[in-house]
């Protein structure tokens, strides 16, 4: 066998040992082994980020390169468990569902963007609070069944082709100006229509018609 091929297939001897994490500085670790302290790096396959005090499994080759393969025990139960990955990451599940559950809460955070895409989206919560600087909603249909709505807005612009409202009673309080511009308008009142103003002005370019059984002016 050629000498070059022999060197290519040679593998350095490995040794596995237990160690304790002495300190963590980014990706660099200092571990305490039975033979003393040494520098080590977290292996890519070790998803749980080591923390000081953790008992870990370390592989060491004959060149002195050491990698933390796994976190075996964590004496301090209050230490945060952190999964550490570098670079673009994708979690793929084939032939089944993915469920994430937490007893006390769950947070999703990203300084860039967060996307949700699904054939069906169900959200159930006892209370919801949403703060958005700008919102764009596009949909074909919206159905809402709500007991009470309270809205506070500085200004509202609505562009609607057809609007039908059915209410038991309606009260409107306008502090300043109220104006309606329409091609035509009609009011149908089954009972009594009362209009009370400080001053009233009716202007018509054509004619004004008042039709009633009795008309009282005065």
The encoded tokens of residue 38 equal 């040494």
DSSP for residue 102: -
| Residue found under tokens 């919560």 | 125
The encoded tokens of residue 69 equal 């393969």
What digits encode the pLDDT tens for the residues 16-64?
Answer: 999 999 999 877 899 999 989 999 999 999 999 999 999 999 999 988 8
What does the alpha-carbon distance between residue 133 and residue 210 come to, in Å, rounded to a whole number?
Answer: 52
Q: Give the predicted TM-score (pTM) of the model.
A: 0.62
Cβ atoms of 69 and 48 closer than 8 Å: no
Q: Which residues contact 66 (CB under 8 A, 6 or more apart)?
A: 31, 38, 39, 40, 41, 58, 59, 60
| pLDDT of res. 37 | 94
- Polymer length in residues for the chain: 218
Architecture label for domain 12-73: Beta Barrel (2.40)
* Domain chopping of the chain, boundaries: 12-73
């Amino acid at each position: 066998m050629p000498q070059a091929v022999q060197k290519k297939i040679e593998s350095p001897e490995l040794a596995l040992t237990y160690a304790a994490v002495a300190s963590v500085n980014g990706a660099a670790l200092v571990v305490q082994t039975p033979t003393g302290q040494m520098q080590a790096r977290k292996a890519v396959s070790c998803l749980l980020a080591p923390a000081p005090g953790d008992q870990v499994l370390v592989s060491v080759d004959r060149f002195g390169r050491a990698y933390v393969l796994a976190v075996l025990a964590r004496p301090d139960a209050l230490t945060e468990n952190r999964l550490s990955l570098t670079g673009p990451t994708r979690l793929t599940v084939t032939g089944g569902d993915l469920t994430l559950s937490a007893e006390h809460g769950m947070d999703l955070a990203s300084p860039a963007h967060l996307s949700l895409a699904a054939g069906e989206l169900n959200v159930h919560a006892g209370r919801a609070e949403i703060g958005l600087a700008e919102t764009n909603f596009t949909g074909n249909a919206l159905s809402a069944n709500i007991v009470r709505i309270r809205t506070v807005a500085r200004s509202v612009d609505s562009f609607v082709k057809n609007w039908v409202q059915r209410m038991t009673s309606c009260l409107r309080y306008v502090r300043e100006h109220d104006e309606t511009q329409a091609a035509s308008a009609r009011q149908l009142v089954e009972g009594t229509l009362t209009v009370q103003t400080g001053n009233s002005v009716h202007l018509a370019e054509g004619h004004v018609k008042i039709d009633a059984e009795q008309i009282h002016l005065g």
